[in-house]
Amino acid sequence: RRVVRDLSAELGKDVALVTEGGETEVDKTVIDRLSEPLVHMIRNSMDHGIEDAQARLAAGKSPQGTVSLSARQEGGEILISIDDDGAGLDPDAIRAKAVERKLLSPEAQPVEEELFQLIFAPGFSTAKQLSSVSGRGVGMDAVRSTVDALRGSVDVQSRRGIGTRVTLRLPVTLAIVDGLLVRLGSSVFVIPLASVEECVELDAAEQTRDSGRTMLCIREHLVPFLELDTVFGQAQSAEPRRRVVIVKADGQRLGLVVDDILGQNQTVIKSLSQYHRGVEGFAGATILGDGSVALIIDVATLARRALSQRQAQRTAA
């Protein structure tokens, strides 16, 4: 906020900073390494993106510009975005500068997404004059270097006259998640607590039903459920009493049948190896206090699987 306030005074622009997702947790060393790149991108948004008050009024916008900083976890990634409601990137200016710097041949016809990635080239700047804020071409280059070192990626989206969004995608290994530990046979799994709504007993009648029905009635609402031992190809459980963890993903509720619920645990997520990343249903793994490894369940993937099963059942009916 201080960067925005000081730079607003220096540039003579009225800019407000909006933040979202402050509860998203990542490793402290990662936050320390991201601090400088985030400052670079905020300064870039204010200097290159946000127009002065007269230009904004002429374009039918509020005289006060807005820069948004948001963070969220999505599947196996942490996404940190910087948005501004400014003039957007100028593809023609970027292309002309790239040709001048011999980063592009004059005959090349790259799409906008490829052009936007050129702003991360070392020494690249479209500023017409050197100032204390821009023109040296070191800011976005430093952002790309830091994100590459963290094994992440940078996406740029921009629309002329509407604004620009720069999104840093960092691997989930850098995330800390509150999870619900559940047991399935002799294995322990983690369900992200943010997705959990409640836990209920599985009715004994449902365990012995052979009709293929996969719906539970919870307070007069039907909720589809998946038996995780079947989903993960494990032997059928012989537990006399089983439990259902009700989760919510992609706007729908889903029951996950497990043998037992062991309690809550805060864990650091480790990504799966390159040999296992194609395995559906898991967002990563974590090492528990006793040194054992627990897989973290990707609730969104299972929700999509349950939806496809229901659609298949309806088609068959």
256 shares a domain with 189: yes
**Domain end marker among 172, 189, 209:** 172
pLDDT in tens, 84-123: 998 888 888 888 888 888 888 888 888 888 888 888 887 7
More confident site: 180 or 237? 180
Residue 221, phi then psi, degrees to nearest 5: -120, 135
pLDDT of residue 211: 40
Residues 216 and 164 in one domain: no
Domain closes at, from 122, 142, 172: 172
More confident residue, 11 or 304: 11
Mean pLDDT of 6-35: 84
Highest mean pLDDT among 67-81, 154-168, 298-312: 154-168
Residue 194 and residue 239 share a domain: yes
* Judgement on whether residues 131 and 185 belong to the same structural domain of the protein: no
Mean pLDDT, residues 295-304 taken together = 83
Q: What is the mean pLDDT of residues 229-239?
A: 78
Q: What is the pLDDT of residue 136?
A: 41
- What is the average per-residue pLDDT within 6-29? 85
Same-domain check for residues 145 and 183: no
Mean pLDDT of all residues belonging to the chain: 81
**160 and 211 together in one domain:** no
Do 45 and 134 share a structural domain?
A: yes
Q: Does the pLDDT at position 170 exceed 70?
A: yes
Task: Say which CATH number the domain at 12 has.
Answer: 3.30.565.10
Boundary (domain end) residue, out of 147, 172, 197: 172
Per the rule left: phi > 0, alpha: psi between -120 and 50, beta: everything else, 259 is alpha
Do residues 33 and 46 both lie within one domain? yes
pLDDT at residue 133, as a whole number:
55
Q: Which domain holds residue 52?
A: 2-172
Percent of the chain with pLDDT over 70: 87
Does the pLDDT of residue 210 top 50, yes or no?
Answer: no
Query: For residue range 257-270, what is the model confidence (pLDDT) as tens digits?
Result: 898 999 998 888 88
Per the structure, the count of domains in the chain is 2
pLDDT of residue 126: 67
Can you tell me the distance from the alpha carbon of 214 to that of 164, in angstroms, rounded to the nearest whole number? 45
